[in-house]
Amino acid sequence: MASAHASSQPLGQKISAYRKKRNLTMQQLAEAVGVSESYISFLESGVRSPSRKLLKKLVHFFYPQGHPALLDEWLLLGCQSSPSLTEGLPSDSLAVAQDLTPGSKGERLRQGVLTGQIQFPPGSSIPAEGVLIRVNGGLQEARSDARGGFRLEQLPLDTPLTLLAEGSDAAGRPFKALSQQMLSAQQPSLALETLLLQQTGSLSGQISLSDGSPPEAIDVYLPGTSVIAKTDAEGFFALPGLPAGQHRLQVYKAGYALGQSELIEIQAGRVALLPPLRLQALAANAPQQSSAQLSGTVRYLGQPLAGVSLALLWEGPPAEAPALTPLSLSNSQGRYQLPLLQPGPYTLVASRNGFETLLQPLEIAAADLRAEGLTQDLQLSDSCIFAGRLAVQVQNCAGQPLPNALIQLDPSPTLGPVPFTDQRGQVLLGPLWPGAYTVYAARGTQQVFESVPIANQPTGSDGQPGALASLSLTLGAPCP
């Protein structure tokens, strides 16, 4: 990968050429866009990379009536010069691996090492290199090498570890594997035999509340992972991309007891149905669970950011760890809520596709549980990736549009209500971060899926922000 200095030279030269063409000094341009003269000098020489906000100001200054093509070009050049970019476009969140020492995040030194090998189904076309292995929803991440091997370091000892491996075949179908492990002080290093990737399944269902309140925005998730969804206004949810096997889901909404489903069997390529589940409202003096919450707003460039997965990981003595690991998802206003189960040291993990994973140490005091709780606002930084959109059309074998078809995506954006097609058999999904998605359409007992790529570009074919992809699905195929 080229250095930040070398890759930012073309953009710096372009800014310099536009300034000189208009007979402007660096000071005049700096005053026009609200920065210092030295900063303009750094931009033109390639020492600094401009933010998106500044690039938009520069293009607007040179072309007050707008110049979308120039803005797109400069935004992409700015991305290429961003030091946070890695080679290629990730379809998952980029982790920030930080050295953890005693006192920085709880009291335990992370010195565990876990190695292993990814095993692929017979006849599959999954590339051995690049399979993502994520620990405890994003606490640590690694990718497999060219032979399918992986190595995870700086893992906590004497703590349950949930490993989720994710890959996809040439057709874009997702494959995952789930494994539970534990590293001890006596055995800080462990070599796994294999993690067998299998085609994923899906789960849908409905959650209700005991007091009859609207069952909206209830978190439904697979513990130890970032696989999470929110219910819509009627309590329905759709959770695609679940590893095959038996799982118990956890369910949470502020003011209600934490819920747990019965053991659910997820089969590859199938949609499972969760039996009806009801959350019980907490009494004012309920001793079994504190009603205190950790809440806040997640923002990006000062704006609320929806669809961020947040996990509260215990960092104290393993014997004192809470029975449940709270997980939540930020809503359309960027708001999130996590239950505070007990005092002690924690790490707040915030992750979303296309953004750098944030690890925030927190110390929860006993007084926080007796009060209303804590507020922790978060600011995520992106990897210079542009969100796109996907237009889906569902029809039958006769070419007639099919309304009320359930649409699921994997990886799941987990934004807003569960999407169904309208009377024209259409639905527009977004924002979606660049990468390959598997799109599922289901109606009754019929199901069809197909992969589709979302490109990384500032503007789509319709002139709106973000790439616009389209996909037509036929339920009932193969048609007679």
d(CA 116, CA 144) in angstroms, rounded, equals 9
d(CA 415, CA 24) in angstroms, rounded, equals 45
Which of 150, 227, 153, 229 minimizes the C-alpha distance to 192? 150
The tens digit of pLDDT for each residue in 204-219 reads 899 999 999 999 888 8
All domains of the chain, ordered by start, with CATH? 4-80 (1.10.260.40), 112-199 (2.60.40.4130), 204-271 (2.60.40.4130), 290-382 (2.60.40.1120), 388-474 (2.60.40.1120)
SS3 147: coil
Reported confidence tier of residue 291, pLDDT bands at 50, 70, 90: low
pTM of the model: 0.56
- Angle ∠(223,229,234) on CA atoms, nearest 5: 130
Task: Please state which of the ranges 311-325, 335-349, 462-476 shows the lowest mean pLDDT.
Answer: 311-325
Which position has the higher pLDDT, 120 or 223?
120
Residue 138 has pLDDT above 90, yes or no: no
Reported confidence tier of residue 166, pLDDT bands at 50, 70, 90: confident
> 339-366 burial, b for 16+ CB within 10 Å, e for fewer?
bbbebbbbbbbbbbbbbbbbbeebebee
Reported confidence tier of residue 242, pLDDT bands at 50, 70, 90: confident
Residue 396 has pLDDT above 60, yes or no: yes
The tens digit of pLDDT for each residue in 320-376 reads 888 777 788 888 788 998 888 788 888 888 877 667 678 788 888 888 877 777 889
Q: Quick check: 308 and 295 in contact, CB under 8 A? A: no
**How many C-beta atoms lie closer than 10 Å to residue 414's C-beta?**
26
Task: Please state which of the ranges 38-52, 243-257, 438-452 shows the lowest mean pLDDT.
Answer: 38-52
Is-cis flag, bond preceding 188, omega within 30? no
Residue 105 has pLDDT above 50, yes or no: no
What is the β-pairing status of strands 378-379 and 303-304? unpaired
